Amino acid sequence: MFNSLSDRLTATFKNLRGKGRLSEADVDATVREIRRALLDADVAVPVVREFTASIRERALGAEVAAALNPAQQIVKIVNEELKDVLGGATRRIRFAKHPPTVIMLAGLQGAGKTTLAGKLGKWLAAQGHKPLLVAADLQRPNAVTQLQIVGQRAGVGVYAPHPGTTSDADVPTGDPVQVARDGVTEARNKLHDIVIIDTAGRLGVDAEMMAQAADIRAATSPDEVLFVIDAMIGQDAVNTALAFQEGVAFTGVVLSKLDGDARGGAALSVASVTGQPVMFASTGEGLDDFELFHPDRMAGRILDMGDVLSLIEQAERSWDKAEADRMAKKFADQEDFTFEDFLAQMQQIRKMGSMKKMLMMMPGAAGIREQLENFDEREIDRVEAIVRSMTPHERVASKIINGSRRARIARGSGVTVSEVNQLMERFTQAQKMMKQMARGGGVPGMPGMAGPGGFNSPRKKGKNAKSAKGSRSGNPAKRAQELAAAQARRERGSQPVNTGAAFGKDAGAEDFDPAALNLPAGFEKFLGK
């Protein structure tokens, strides 16, 4: 959604790197580029003016002039201003003191209210609530049927006493206000603690729709009125939001279709113009593609700083703790990483959702966006097919997979032998890395870690490397001390390690400590006295 805006802002900040001091001309040029980027993203003009004016005032102030890195300070200012434009702090649902909590959805037709009702219901049910969806949209054809299907898929109850219309030729019958009122009564009688009312929408803002929505609000006294707006609506988002604010006085905003390729100006405009925060965001077509809106995290995504916290929360929701504990124990015991473990880890990752979305939450993902866009999600399916084409013995003993076995695996999984070879090569590298980490050597190639390429790994001797044979100290006393210490180490090293008998037990055998041998984990059981 914010790809274009993110790219423009990132390119603007690159021009500031390496400058120890920013002149007024540098600040003006930066603010000008930010203004153009926001306007291109369909952000409302009043919001752009206020946003850039605040940035320029702060950028020319003392906080940037006194900063060690002015460029980073500018990015910090833009980040803070973006958070304010998006609503400041995270806004959560205000629950009623006496259940049920009534949540009313309002918005234009096509904004995705009915689907979002199911997403919100499933999200609340996962938190231990018992929501009830109320089908108060009796005018759009098959809206009631759609809500019933969505509720069934989400595992949430639906109250739909009236079938609504089934085609554009049908004349709308039934009273949506009475349906909404009865839905609240039904929830109270059936001990539902939350009611989500799906109301009718229109192709445009009109008095009849607003009057109906206002009547439903007056009849049900909702605790929250959520305005559902299509994030791809563009500049018209402000006018629509102001009309709904005047008609139904909504208390929060929900952005739908945030996974689209539009410019995303609605998200930056609505909260600032109406004064009501963005509370939720719909990020896909699936019922699980729904999340609480965090202004600080969204600002981080726009500025290509990543959203690691959301990624962690997503992993915590989907990760199997028992499987994680099993892998941790296996890792601690230094057992071999097998294809069975590889398959289990792949299934855990797939539960987290789209691989593209997860990778785009990482800091600096904008630099590899093109590669991510070209990434084929079906690649994971092909890898899983290859592993499942192996026999149980081959999965735990991958060294036995020779040429003929690889050809059989390729035929069974519908891929080429070269793809099987590539997977085997990557798996062998993963095994080596797991062993290296289990031995405490760290990740190979990572700075500060032991192992090949790390800071603690042995390096080739260069012309400036110190020789192990002597001392290079220019102080005669210190050089003599180092030579004496080296001689003492050589004398200690020349002593026999084991002074006991070759067979039987000598007098000092009682003091033998197997831990001193630094044996692999679990090997002590073979050293019984």
Binding residues for GTP: 107-114, 198-202, 256-259
Q: Which amino acid is at 261?
A: D
Residue type, 470: G
From 207, 270, 280, 279, select the one nearest 239 (Cα to Cα).
270
> Helix 70-85 vs helix 265-274: angle between axes, to the nearest 10 degrees?
70
* Residue ranges of the binding site: 107-114, 198-202, 256-259
139 near 172, Cβ under 8 Å?
A: yes
**Residue 402 to residue 96: CA distance in whole angstroms:** 65
Q: Are 241 and 227 in contact (CB under 8 A)?
A: yes
Cβ atoms 165, 172 nearer than 8 A: yes
- Pure H helices in 403-444: 403-413, 417-438
Beta-carbon contacts of residue 344 (< 8 Å; ≥ 6 apart) = 323, 327
Scanning the structure block, which residue is given the tokens 């279709």?
A: 257
Do residues 71 and 13 lie in contact, with contact meaning Cβ atoms separated by under 8 Å? Answer: yes
Nearest to 274 by CA among 258, 303, 254, 256: 254
∠ CA 431-441-461, nearest 5°, is 110
Q: How many CB atoms lie within 10 A of CB 166?
A: 12
Q: Where are the alpha helices (DSSP H) in 23-112?
A: 24-40, 45-59, 62-65, 70-85
**DSSP category for residue 1:** -
Distance CA 6, CA 14 (A): 12
Q: Measuring CA to CA, which residue among 21, 93, 485, 82 is closest to residue 251?
A: 93
Report the DSSP beta bridge partners of residue 231: none
Residues for the chain: how many in total? Answer: 529
> Quick one: tokens of 30?
């930066």
Q: Which residues, 6 or more positions from 192, have their beta carbon under 8 angstroms from its beta carbon?
A: 99, 100, 130, 131, 132, 157, 186
State how far the alpha carbon of 164 is from the alpha carbons of 136, 168, 171, 385, in Å. 9, 11, 9, 46
Listed in sequence order, the residues at least 6 apart from 407 whose beta carbon sits closer than 8 Å to its beta carbon are: 417
Cβ 9 vs Cβ 16: under 8 Å: no
Given a contact cutoff of 8 angstroms between Cβ atoms, the answer to whether 136 and 178 are in contact is: no
What is the 3-state composition of the chain as percent helix, strand, coil, each rounded to the nearest 5?
A: 55, 5, 40
